[in-house]
Amino acid sequence: MLQETITRDLPLQHWQDFVVPQRWEAFTDEDHAVWDLLFARQVELLGSRVVSPFLDGIDLLRLSHPGVPELAELNAILEPRTGWRTVAVPGLVPDEIFFAMLSERIFPVGNFIRTRDQLDYLEAPDCFHDLFGHIPMLAHHDFAEMTQHVGRLGIAAIEAGEGARAARLYWHSVEFALAKEAGELKILGAGLASSFGESHFSLESDEVERLPFSVERAVNTPYRHDAFQPRYLVSESLEETVAEVLALTPEHMLAL
């Protein structure tokens, strides 16, 4: 009886409850200058070290436009293309909210940007990580579908009390994956594409493990959220990552 009362009184949280206005007009000239600095630095650093659909996405979404992108303008291009749209959030959202958003092709974007003295700040994802890192690949039809599927798997995993499995899958596919393209090792994940230090490190360091990607390995491989990864999963191609993740059912994920 008590539990029933508690359950009834506690409002269920929906992803919509976490959405805030982007308030683009509140970004200062300095904020826009920091975006421009990060953008120019990262595009030059990546060169051709990232899978080519990422660079196509940058062009298609006009991310090279100066200043912090306005989400409404970005959505006007992204949504008709793949059905994804961005919403502003004040910071990290709980995993169940994040996965619920992904399952509806909604991507949360921090409504703030790091300061000039924290250009390589790693901990809380800001709008540079969220927009530069993630949005280009959400303009790619197959990767867009895969990301939605990861959201659905995340919801199923949390309902089964196994949220960590989906978190690891997400981490090793969407955030920190490497993939070959025409035989060359490339960056695929957003956490690498948007990181000044880790983009090169992931490809070139001799001090890390690079293991073949499989969904079984992704679901079971721990990760670091406070430091560079000690190991990266590498697929034979972007298409292989997408196909493997899309073929994964909630039941199979829970049994791996």
Cβ at position 128, least distance to Fe ion in Å: 11
Contacts of 118-124 with C-beta under 8 Å, sequence gap 24+, read: 119/34, 119/37, 119/38, 119/41, 119/196, 120/195, 120/196, 120/197, 122/195, 122/226, 123/226, 124/91, 124/92
32 is catalytic: no
* CB closest to Fe ion, residue no: 190
Q: Which window, 88-96, 155-163, 182-190, 225-233, contacts Fe ion (CB under 5 A)?
A: 182-190
Q: How far is CA 172 from the centre of its chain?
A: 11
Q: What one-character DSSP code corresponds to residue 173? A: I
140 is catalytic: no
Single out the catalytic residue among 103, 129, 181, 198: 129
What is the dihedral angle through the alpha carbons of 110, 115, 117, 119, rounded to the nearest 10 degrees?
40
Pick 14 or 225: Cβ nearer Fe ion:
225
Q: Which window, 4-12, 184-192, 235-243, 245-253, contacts Fe ion (CB under 5 A)?
A: 184-192
Q: Considering CB under 5 A, how many residues would be counted as binding Fe ion?
A: 1
129 is catalytic: yes
Pick 12 or 87: Cβ nearer Fe ion:
87
Q: Can you tell me the distance from the alpha carbon of 83 to that of 86, in angstroms, rounded to the nearest whole number? A: 10
What is the dihedral angle through the alpha carbons of 161, 173, 79, 65, rounded to the nearest 10 degrees?
130
Q: Which window, 79-87, 90-98, 185-193, 204-212, contacts Fe ion (CB under 5 A)?
A: 185-193
194 is catalytic: yes
Q: Can you tell me the distance from the alpha carbon of 169 to that of 105, in angstroms, rounded to the nearest whole number? A: 18
Pick 61 or 190: Cβ nearer Fe ion:
190
Cβ at position 222, least distance to Fe ion in Å: 18
Single out the catalytic residue among 140, 149, 173, 175: 175
Pick 92 or 160: Cβ nearer Fe ion:
92
Element at 107 (helix H, strand E) = strand 106-110
Single out the catalytic residue among 173, 194, 195, 202: 194
Cβ at position 113, least distance to Fe ion in Å: 15
Query: Starting from the edge strand earliest in sequence, which strands make up the sheet with 184-187, in order?
Result: 184-187, 178-181, 231-235, 209-212
What is the contact surface with Fe ion in residues (CB under 5 A)? 190
Known catalytic residues? 129, 134, 175, 194
